[in-house]
Amino acid sequence: MKKTLLIALATVALVGCDARKAAIDDQKDNEQKAINAEKKAVDQQTDLAKKQADANAKSDKAALEANQQSQKAQLDADKKKAEADAEAAKKQVDAQSKVNP
């Protein structure tokens, strides 16, 4: 009887230990799932931020190129005006030399 009682107590103790170990494993698994979900969320946020940065970079690049074209057009206009002013000055010199030989 003592042996049977001792065996029964040992069995209950072992089953109790197994249940606690199973609970510990379940808790560990749940924590790992939560961590993996957070990692996935971080990856998604980073991907979205990268896409937004790419879109911003494209927009900035387009604005820079438009500004460049605008400045070049203004410089071309300034160049043509300088050429026209020089041509007008030459014609004025020619006109003066014909009037005052």
Q: Is the pLDDT of residue 57 over 80?
A: yes
Within a domain: residue 55?
Answer: yes
Within a domain: residue 47?
Answer: yes
* pLDDT per position as a tens digit, 2-30: 677 666 656 656 566 677 878 888 999 99
The pTM of the full predicted model, rounded to 2 decimals, is 0.53
Within a domain: residue 95?
Answer: no
Domain range spanning residue 44? Answer: 40-90
Structural domain count, the chain: 1
d(CA 52, CA 62): 15
Residue 1's SS3 state is: coil
Segment (H or E) for 41:
helix 2-99
Within a domain: residue 18?
Answer: no
Within a domain: residue 25?
Answer: no
- pLDDT at position 4 is 73
DSSP tag of 101: -
- pLDDT at position 15 is 60
- pLDDT at position 18 is 73
Within a domain: residue 14?
Answer: no
Amino acid symbol at 11: T
